[in-house]
Structure 1
Amino acid sequence: MAASAIPVVDFQKYGLNVTDPKTVTSDVLETTAKEIYDAFSTIGFLYLINHGVEQRKVDAMFSVSKSFFDQPVEEKMKCALDHRYGYHGYIALESERLNYKGSVADFKEGFNFMPKDEMVWPENLPQFKSTFSSFFYDCSRLSERVLDVLSIGLKLQDRNFLRDCHRLMGKKENSTSLRSNYYPPLTGCVKPGQVRRGEHSDYGTVTLLFQDGIGGLEVMNTEDVYVDAKPVPGAIVVNIGDMLQRWAADQIKAAKHRVLIPESEVKKRQYRQSIAFFVNPDNDTIIKSLDGSDKYEPISVWDYLECMFQTIS
């Protein structure tokens, strides 16, 4: 496979199908660890197959999300994200600008979920909360296993090191979030220079992305050229964020990616969905070069994320 292509990594040996991950030795995972490290140290993206997240749960997430986004704006705004109280809730159309250099807001909507008691839920969708909560739990477990294998790939002495820095996922001391993205059909209302999702790299450690069959995600390859991350049935697109690149002293790469306005008139009239699980370490974790090089000044996860979040709105 060309170095600029997005590789496929089989996670059968350590996916959620493995009941007790502690029984799997590091020696067994070496090949998988090398494949993941090689992908993240070059193009920064991979397709993960045989990961163990049930397709029926992915389908349920897409279904309940679509039911929410199909509602009138005034109904969705009852659950609007309020930055004064955190980063959970409805993100209205054209309210974010992921490419901070751009002048036009992205043509997309979203619903960001962080498991907190004070969150407002859509009252007319009784399955919404349970579906998001269950999916968050599955993504958390899979992320821990990806982090274990990445620790091996980075040749850390303790394969649980990265996992241990993410122990509070789902609690208030950790800002890991599950986001459902919705790209409405385009009806001639696109502003000059507008895109569906602006060029950016993610902020945290690892992102799990579940795509529908429409496609549109583009990834910058090793030649600094954008290539299509075409949907692969049953696969999760996995990439790393800026924080992990900093933590690993640039051994691995947080690649830029985007979603443009499609050129095809047929695709313009189609809606698109994706589901992203943004993994972050616990808020008080200090990000310090893992190789001891002190390439970057140490910073807490909370301070780093607060700085990055200010660039998107």
Structure 2
Amino acid sequence: MVPVVDFNVYRLGVDNVSDKDLHQLGEELRTAFTEVGFVYLKNTGIDEQEVDHVMTTSKTFFLLSEEKKMLFSRGNFPNSNHGWVSVERENLNPRRPGDLKEAFNISSLLPDIEWPSDGVDEFRNVHVSFFLRCKELSLRVLRVMALSLGIEVDIFLKAHRHIGSEENTSTMRTLYYPPVQSVKEGQIRCGEHSDYGSITLLFQSHEGGLQILNRKMEFIDAPSIPGTVVVNIADLMQRWTSDVFVSAVHRVLSPPAGDTRTRQSLAFFVQPDNDVIITCCDGSNKYPPVNALDYLLARFQESYSRN
């Protein structure tokens, strides 16, 4: 079972928090990230109406014709991770057929980069605003994580100074899972994988499908809980903490036959700054040093190379 932790004492907008409250919060996060790798946070300062508004705006884009969406394809921009990703373009589990999802990646906030506008009013403003909200929440979570480990409180914050700039590849993905009509053998909405960077924030619509691989090597459901955000550890953070925090494999199953409901989610993938060298923060040599950007590009190659 994925634990639920109340983040109210350090929610967005709260700046004065006692050491006792931060310590307690850190203990709860450490337990979740050590034992499961995932946690639900409630009372973060980001409410359900805010999330619904972003998803509604996103869906307007996803329902456009493929011809219009192709104008914003990932790879058409100076920042190679910005833009639209079509259904089956990714294989997050390369042993399966392409994932039954599409996405729009927001990884560049440059004022001159192109954004959808035809039939999608305020797409840029809505998504950039939410990107910045997720950035602030992520930094708060990272600070509490460092406190929970008993290390320098700003060690993770210093490595994420440039989120939202060209010096950092943190990405918000708005994801749309269209109705499933037919599938190839072994095909699901999102293949088994672990995330690449530091942490991920995930906001889900009410349709199910997300599953997490627990320590017993069993997949457990992680349904949408209204008013919460799912936060999980990613691979670089597991290396960084010498396996104290666990980056758990997860997937999104396809719905049962005859269920044509769509699914949406918003994922904020937090990456260290491009030039950061990740070394074990306990001073051990359990993992060799690795450059954050090089590591990410290698993982992208795995996900996109077959399509």
TM-score by length of 1: 0.93
1:26 to 3, 19, 28: 19
2:162 to 163, 168, 180: 168
Q: Distance in 2 between matches of 1:30 and 1:303?
A: 34
Kept in 2: contact 1:89–1:119 (CA 8 A) = no
Q: Which residue of 2 aligns with 1:11?
A: 7
The 5-angstrom pairing of residues 37-76 of structure 1 reads 37-76=30-69
Paired letter, 1:152: L
Q: Distance in 2 between matches of 1:98 and 1:288?
A: 26
Of the structure 1 ranges 168-177 and 26-35, higher mean CA displacement relative to structure 2 is found in: 26-35
| Corresponding position: 1:96 with 2:90 | yes
SS at match of 2:9: coil
2:143 to 142, 148, 168: 148
The 5-angstrom pairing of residues 108-147 of structure 1 reads 108-114=101-107, 115-124=109-118, 125-147=120-142
Kept in 2: contact 1:97–1:198 (CA 8 A) = yes
Task: Give the drift of 1:56.
Answer: 2.6
Task: Give the drift of 1:135.
Answer: 0.1
Paired letter, 2:279: K
Identity over aligned residues, as a percent?
Answer: 43
Q: Distance in 1 between matches of 2:112 and 2:292?
A: 23
| Corresponding position: 1:285 with 2:279 | no
Kept in 2: contact 1:17–1:51 (CA 8 A) = no
* Runs of at least 5 residues in structure 2 that lack an aligned partner in the other structure: none
Q: Distance in 2 between matches of 1:101 and 1:290?
A: 33
Q: Distance in 2 between matches of 1:277 and 1:290?
A: 24
Task: Give the drift of 1:295.
Answer: 0.8
Paired letter, 1:97: N
Q: Distance in 1 between matches of 2:131 and 2:217?
A: 33
Kept in 2: contact 1:248–1:289 (CA 8 A) = yes
Task: Give the drift of 1:263.
Answer: 1.9
Q: Distance in 2 between matches of 1:185 and 1:25?
A: 47
Q: Which residue of 2 aligns with 1:300?
A: 291
Q: Residues 70 and 84 of structure 1: is their aligned pair in 2 closer, same or farther, counting only changes over 3 Å?
A: closer
Kept in 2: contact 1:88–1:119 (CA 8 A) = no
1:190 to 177, 183, 192: 183
CA displacement 1:58-95 (0-9 Å, x = unmatched): 11111001100011110111111107731010001110
User: How many residues get paired?
Assistant: 301
Paired letter, 2:299: M
Task: Give the drift of 1:293.
Answer: 0.6
Task: Give the drift of 1:154.
Answer: 1.3
CA displacement 1:115-157 (0-9 Å, x = unmatched): 234532112123100000000000000000000100011111x
| Corresponding position: 1:212 with 2:212 | no
Paired letter, 2:29: I
Q: Residues 196 and 6 of structure 1: is their aligned pair in 2 closer, same or farther, counting only changes over 3 Å?
A: same
Q: Distance in 1 between matches of 2:289 and 2:63?
A: 44
Paired letter, 2:124: K
Q: Distance in 2 between matches of 1:83 and 1:292?
A: 41
TM-score by length of 2: 0.95
Q: Distance in 2 between matches of 1:148 and 1:33?
A: 9
Q: Distance in 2 between matches of 1:95 and 1:118?
A: 26
Q: Which residue of 2 aligns with 1:159?
A: 153
Q: Residues 293 and 83 of structure 1: is their aligned pair in 2 closer, same or farther, counting only changes over 3 Å?
A: farther
Kept in 1: contact 2:77–2:113 (CA 8 A) = no
What is the RMSD computed on CA atoms of the aligned residues? 1.3
* Runs of at least 5 residues in structure 1 that lack an aligned partner in the other structure: none
| Corresponding position: 1:252 with 2:245 | yes
Kept in 2: contact 1:151–1:162 (CA 8 A) = yes
